[in-house]
């Protein structure tokens, strides 16, 4: 793919002040995470992560020989004060976070904290990996601008992906970075697999440049908002003791805290036996879970009726 195509996929479509040479096309977001963790930290080094966090990132970090270290969150996202303490105590030089729509809680990092966590990472001499997977998965309200939009020092490495808003088979992602770190990423990518297949890149460029892309995103936004509301309403009616941690403004799931006495793994196993797939919350924690939680997806069902039926089955087994 040429430089102009890379800019369309990585920067121009998000309104970022990014040059084509700052963008590296990858085979989806997961492959990009694997590359980043191997490139930005040495085996045995700590990597700071929100707690809870995306288990695919934990797996990629551990596969690279890194030690995930949890940093607590609250309703406004990762706490800058505890982040600074974690950098000081561990000597970490890498932070992985999802500030625009946290997976699994759906939290959006508060405006007053967005610059603070970049400043904390910069002061520690660390890179901040910004996983912006939900940029195209909004529910109607605009998401805040990516952290990299205000970064002029190369602290932030931005990760984007088309896989979730387009198709699971369209394994296209992009890394945005500046300076020597991008050259290192390019060198490692060359060793791994040279480049992402050109037909996939061309399909991505054609998709993003089509008028139907904006129509698709609008329809997707409406569908996700309706499904989120339907799932939340069904939970309130059938399982009032299950607490929704946050009603997200983007993303594909709800994060639910279970009542005392229920174990997330036991509920997930019973749900599977009843024909309902949910994610046990314990796998999202890099250390000991703080509560018994479930992640409930609402994007893959056939419709709203199937979501309601799934909740009815959950109520029947608990």
- Higher-confidence position of 129 and 5: 129
pLDDT tens figures, 211-245: 999 999 999 999 999 999 999 999 999 999 999 98
pLDDT tens digits along 99-131: 999 999 999 999 999 999 999 999 999 999 999
- What is the pLDDT at residue 15? 56
Contact call for residues 20 and 7 (beta carbons, < 8 A):
yes
| SS3 at position 95 | strand
pLDDT higher than threshold 50 for residue 8? no
pLDDT at 288: 86
268-287 confidence digits (pLDDT tens): 999 999 999 999 999 999 99
Structural domains of the chain, ranges and CATH numbers in brackets? 3-209 (3.40.640.10), 213-317 (3.90.1150.10)
Range of weakest confidence among 81-85, 300-304, 307-311: 300-304
At 261, the pLDDT band (50, 70, 90 cuts) reads very high
Its pTM stands at 0.90
For residue 17, the model assigns a pLDDT of 67
């Amino acid at each position: 793919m040429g430089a102009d195509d890379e800019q369309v996929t990585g920067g121009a479509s998000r309104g970022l002040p990014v040059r084509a040479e700052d963008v590296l096309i990858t085979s989806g977001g997961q492959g990009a995470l694997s590359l980043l963790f191997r490139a930005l930290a040495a085996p045995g080094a700590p990597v700071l992560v929100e707690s809870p966090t995306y288990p695919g990132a934990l797996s990629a970090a551990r596969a690279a020989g890194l030690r995930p270290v949890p940093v607590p969150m609250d309703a406004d996202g990762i706490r800058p004060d505890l982040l600074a303490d974690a950098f000081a105590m561990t000597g970490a030089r890498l932070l992985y976070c999802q500030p625009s729509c946290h997976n699994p809680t759906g939290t959006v990092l508060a405006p007053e904290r967005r610059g603070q966590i970049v400043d904390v990472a910069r002061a520690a001499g660390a890179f901040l990996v910004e996983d912006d997977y939900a940029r195209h998965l909004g529910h109607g309200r605009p998401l805040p601008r990516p952290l990299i939009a205000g970064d002029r020092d190369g602290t932030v490495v931005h990760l984007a992906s088309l896989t979730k808003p387009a198709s699971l088979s369209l394994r296209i992602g992009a890394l945005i970075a500046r300076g020597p770190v991008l050259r290192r990423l390019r060198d490692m990518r060359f060793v791994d697999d040279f480049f992402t297949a050109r037909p996939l890149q061309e399909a991505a460029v054609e998709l993003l440049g089509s008028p139907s892309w904006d129509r698709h995103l609008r329809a997707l936004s409406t569908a996700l908002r309706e499904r989120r509301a339907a799932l939340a309403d069904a939970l309130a009616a059938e399982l009032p003791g299950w607490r929704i941690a946050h009603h997200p403004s983007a993303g594909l799931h709800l994060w639910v805290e279970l009542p005392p006495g229920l174990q997330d793994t036991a509920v997930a196993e019973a749900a599977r036996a009843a024909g309902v797939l949910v994610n046990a919350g314990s796998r999202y924690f890099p250390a000991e879970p703080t509560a018994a939680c479930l992640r409930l997806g609402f994007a893959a069902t056939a419709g709203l009726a199937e979501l309601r039926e799934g909740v009815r089955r959950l109520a029947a087994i608990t």
